[in-house]
Structure 1
Amino acid sequence: MSGGAYTRRLEHLVPVRTPDGGGGILQSWDARGVIWGRIQMRSGGLKTTEFGRAPRLGVKIRTHHLPQGHPARPEMGHRLRDGTRLYEVEDVHDGADDALVVMAAEIHEGAGA
């Protein structure tokens, strides 16, 4: 799917790991900035977890091209926040039409946020 405006404001979050003083690690999330994109649903269903079944929504996010190594380019394990929705980046690749394509899955704040 090419063309169309990038109308979704996505806050780019990166993981920050710091020692907890007791031999473990604390993880928090730092905002790296904002990217504008277009979100398209790609799959949905129920995922079995240790606590039962949870909904899972996979999305494809298209945004402006950013070269490898650019600090604003999302990477696997990063997160993108769209209002109240939070997506975990699963894969990032360059699209054929000078766009960046991000495959992500919606996560819920209680799930390791």
Structure 2
Amino acid sequence: MTHLILTLVAAGFVAFSAGATYVRAGWVTRSLTDYGVPRSWWPWLAHAKAAGAVGLLAGLVVPFVGVAAGIGLVLYFAGAVVTVVRARWYSHLPFPVLYVMPVVASMVFY
């Protein structure tokens, strides 16, 4: 039961992040611009997060898919942390960490 709840929360967080990137929410676009992420990458980043959220949900039925999605999301958000550090926006470090924490918590239960 714990795994189910954590997976749903993780997928929800990541799907929210993907959706905010898809609709180009101001708080997302300002940050991506400040970090120096090219606009041409934005849709691909949103696709990656959306695929990760779907993969986490699929992992409830096919565990290998969930593990693969979780690993992909951990790598994605690790890249986000590197991007934030390279841009020297240290006050923004909690945000990618906040999104990856439920993913890691969900993977603990596989």
Query: Do Structure 1 and Structure 2 share a fold, with TM-score over 0.5?
Result: no
Q: TM-score, normalised by structure 1?
A: 0.26
Compare relative contact order (CA 8 Å, sep 6+) and give the higher one, 1 or 2.
2
Question: Whose radius of gyration is greater, 1 or 2?
Answer: 1
**Which structure shows the higher strand fraction?**
1
Q: TM-score, normalised by structure 2?
A: 0.26
